[in-house]
């Protein structure tokens, strides 16, 4: 085997191992979710168990409820508990930057069709995948599966590619029909991520953020900002949670880093009409005649 082929094989082994760890953590986390249970405890379980099993979180555990679609993660010392909510748990695991990404909906609202819509759409999209397929074909299959329930896909959220230390890389995988897509090829690593809603089918930024990522390292003058920048360096370009940081004057430092375009925030995304949102997601590796689901 050539050195290049061996390198490629080792990379895919890392993706596959990250997927195995994620699957185990996801299953254990879902079993722990219950009405009245701590939201923070679930997020910390996901992140700590990932490390315990030999990987690292690719981003903070997202736990989004009801009309929240994404980017919600608990605050430090958060005392929130689960109610009779529609809960999305979105988690990422990486080994040396090679990321597996998956999400599941846990429903205590009794809206089982909404959960089934995103799950059916996930597998409808996956069933299309093979070398040479267009993302437009996947998008159409996803939309058809959701609208069959009389529901809407969230139009401005998409699946995505995965690249070393980059959680959302090209190509995007739309959740609604498009005219022209991108051709996928054997070896591509992508996340199929349908969101279904009984609302308008769009999300907008909410009023708070607990997740950030580094855009570009630049010199900073203020000691508090320098301290935070040093603390976030190990995450490279991967998202991190405010609650992971220990620096003093944290809010001030984060504000300064954002003003200087050194970091960006990820506001919680909410359905614009307040509709319930469900989510399902797997990471797959495209093959000649299908795909391998690494987060099953």
160 marked ligand binding residue: yes
Residue 1, pLDDT score: 63
CATH, range 3-205+274-293: 3.90.230.10
Annotated active-site residue 131? The verdict is no
CA gap 44, 192 in Å, rounded: 25
Annotated active-site residue 216? The verdict is no
CA gap 43, 272 in Å, rounded: 26
71 marked ligand binding residue: yes
Name the nearest CA neighbour of 72 among 108, 109, 43, 96.
Answer: 43
Question: By three-state DSSP, how is residue 253 classified?
Answer: helix
CA gap 164, 136 in Å, rounded: 25
- Asked if 57 and 47 touch (Cβ cutoff 8 Å), the reply is yes
Residue 96, pLDDT score: 98
79 marked ligand binding residue: no
With tokens 């809206």, the residue in question is: 111
Name the nearest CA neighbour of 240 among 102, 22, 61.
Answer: 61
φ, ψ for residue 36 (rounded to 5)?
90, -10
CA gap 58, 22 in Å, rounded: 10
Query: Across the strands, what pairs with 192?
Result: 282
- Exposure b/e, 125-144, CB count within 10 A at least 16 = b: bbebbbbebbbbbbbbbbbe
Cβ partners under 8 Å of residue 6, min gap 6:
none
Annotated active-site residue 41? The verdict is no
12 CB burial (10 A radius; 0-12, 13-18, 19+): middle
Is the bond preceding residue 171 a cis peptide, omega within 30 degrees? Answer: yes
- Asked if 19 and 294 touch (Cβ cutoff 8 Å), the reply is yes
Active-site pick, 68, 143, 160, 282: 160
Annotated active-site residue 94? The verdict is no
Domain ranges of the chain: 3-205+274-293, 211-269
Active-site pick, 85, 101, 188, 198: 101
Active-site pick, 67, 90, 119, 143: 90
Sign of CA dihedral 29, 276, 135, 170: negative
Q: According to the CATH classification, is domain 211-269 in 1.10.287.90?
A: no
282 marked ligand binding residue: no
Q: Report the chain (296 residues): mean pLDDT per 10 consecutive residues.
A: 83 98 98 98 98 98 98 97 98 98 98 98 98 98 98 98 97 97 98 98 97 95 94 97 94 96 98 98 97 98
CA gap 203, 60 in Å, rounded: 20
Cβ partners under 8 Å of residue 141, min gap 6:
121, 124, 125, 127, 128
Report DSSP state, residue 188: -
Annotated active-site residue 282? The verdict is no
Annotated active-site residue 90? The verdict is yes
Name the nearest CA neighbour of 68 among 203, 215, 251, 256.
Answer: 203
Name the nearest CA neighbour of 61 among 33, 89, 100.
Answer: 89
- Asked if 190 and 125 touch (Cβ cutoff 8 Å), the reply is no
94 marked ligand binding residue: no
């Amino acid at each position: 085997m050539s050195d290049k082929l061996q390198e490629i094989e080792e990379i895919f082994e890392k993706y596959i191992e990250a997927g195995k760890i994620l699957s185990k953590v996801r299953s254990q986390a879902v079993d722990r979710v219950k009405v009245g249970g701590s939201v923070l405890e679930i997020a910390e379980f996901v992140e700590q168990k990932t490390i315990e099993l030999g990987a690292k979180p690719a981003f903070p555990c997202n736990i989004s409820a009801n009309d929240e679609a994404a980017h919600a993660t608990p605050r430090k010392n958060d005392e929130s508990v689960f109610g009779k909510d529609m809960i999305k748990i979105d988690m990422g695991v990486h080994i040396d930057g090679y990321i597996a990404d998956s999400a599941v909906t846990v429903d205590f609202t009794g809206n089982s069709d909404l959960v089934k819509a995103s799950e059916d759409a996930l597998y409808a999209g996956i069933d299309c995948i093979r070398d040479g397929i267009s993302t437009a074909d996947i998008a159409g299959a996803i939309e058809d599966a959701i609208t069959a329930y009389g529901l809407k896909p969230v139009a401005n959220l998409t699946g995505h590619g995965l690249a070393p230390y980059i959680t959302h890389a090209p190509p995007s995988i739309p959740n609604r029909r498009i005219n022209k897509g991108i051709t996928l090829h054997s070896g591509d690593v992508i996340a199929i991520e349908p969101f279904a809603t009984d609302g308008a089918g769009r999300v907008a930024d909410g009023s708070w953020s607990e997740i950030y990522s580094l855009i570009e390292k630049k010199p900073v003058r203020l000691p508090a900002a320098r301290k935070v920048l040093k603390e976030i360096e190990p995450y490279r370009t991967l998202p991190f949670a405010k609650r992971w940081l220990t620096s003093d004057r944290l809010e001030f430092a984060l504000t300064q880093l954002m003003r200087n375009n050194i970091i960006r925030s990820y506001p919680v995304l909410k359905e614009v009409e307040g509709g319930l949102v469900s989510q399902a997601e797997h990471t797959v590796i495209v093959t000649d005649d299908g795909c391998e689901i690494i987060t099953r």
